[in-house]
Structure 1
Amino acid sequence: MCSLLLIPNWVSKIFYFTTGCLNFLKLCKIKFYNFSLFHSVQSNLVAQTGDPTATGRGGESIFARLYGEQARFFDMEVSPRIKHIQRGLVSMVNNGSGMHGSQFFITLAENLDYLDGKHTVFGEVVEGLDILDKLNNTFCGEDNRPHQDIRIYHTVILDDPYDDPDNLVIPPMSPGPTEEMLNFLDVTFLALNSDQIPCDFIKQI
């Protein structure tokens, strides 16, 4: 079990407030990322997560929860001053149409300039950098899917500068995995006693 801070301002450092930051914070607040698998890890490139289907094709923005399926994605924001120049940067994943949903990646190497202008950097890992080494060295198949079950266990917000929308439904406690997640969730993961696990940990089996 490994500790990794992932969230802007509380798990990561916010560079500037963007729609991407708001989206990420509110998704964390509704526990959207609980049990999210790192479904793709490319050594010396990026580790990707945030898709509840663990296929790389799923996920949605917080705006879909607020306004319906037509708001599943939002327009990409790119600042020319913020580049993928260091390890541990957190970026929203471009869905291929210049839009973002819930998927994000963490850079595992420096100077990945080919990602600039294609994905929105919105944060930086500031604690648990040794976990990036473990992610980078994990064994993966030809499809970049790790052989180990590596996922986000829980998220905690230490500071949220954004007001909650009136129709944002925040669960009173962390929900369990959905039926969809159970289809690929390691059963030993579910056997853990959540009361004994700090809430800012990533579970690695």
Structure 2
Amino acid sequence: MMNNLFSIFDPLSSIIPIQLNWLSSLLLFMFSPLLFWLIPNRSLMVMNLILKFLKNEMNNLLNNTHFKGVSLFFSTVFFMILFNNFLGLYPYIFTSSTHLLFNLTFSLPIWLSLMFYGWIMKTQNMFIHLIPNGTPPILMPFMVLIETISNIIRPGTLAVRLTANMIAGHLLVTLLSQNGTIIPTMFLILLISVEFLLLTLELMVSFIQSYVFTILSILYTSEIH
């Protein structure tokens, strides 16, 4: 039971003992160019609406910070995570975003880049962030320790949040779907309705988690100014 349940997260291919399932993340680069053959089309219009929404959110969060290309970079990260989240909703397709290793490849380089830039170019401001305004002198050492720990665990919390939310939804959908062959026929319609509601919820979770990952990364970027 447990092996069948968690086999949906196994990156190994069932044909040859090579982790080919990770290649599913590259499908985005195969499908995205097709959107531009017909202009305007529905897919491109939806993508433009999302891009405008993200750009407005980024402008509100970044305020006076000016990093060239930051909107393009984080929009790309958003769509990459969103695409991989959506892939997991299709049967027999490996979901890369359910693995901590995959999510760390996004959060860790972003965090390291911000830390290197901040401590090299904005050293004084980085020290200022360690002690909030109005902190009593006696509490300053503790605040520095707390702020340092919270800063260090940021890439981990970004990756774990995304991983946990994606795994939880996929496990719930899989558990319910396995009962389809053993429950009475009169309850089958109820099971299908619940599965449909869960899939709708997972669509929303896929978008929300991509948005949360991107917005938190932008918030960390806005602190470097």
Q: What is the TM-score with the length of structure 2 in the denominator?
A: 0.26
Where is the strand percentage greater, Structure 1 or Structure 2?
1
| Larger radius of gyration between Structure 1 and Structure 2 | 2
Where is the helix percentage greater, Structure 1 or Structure 2?
2
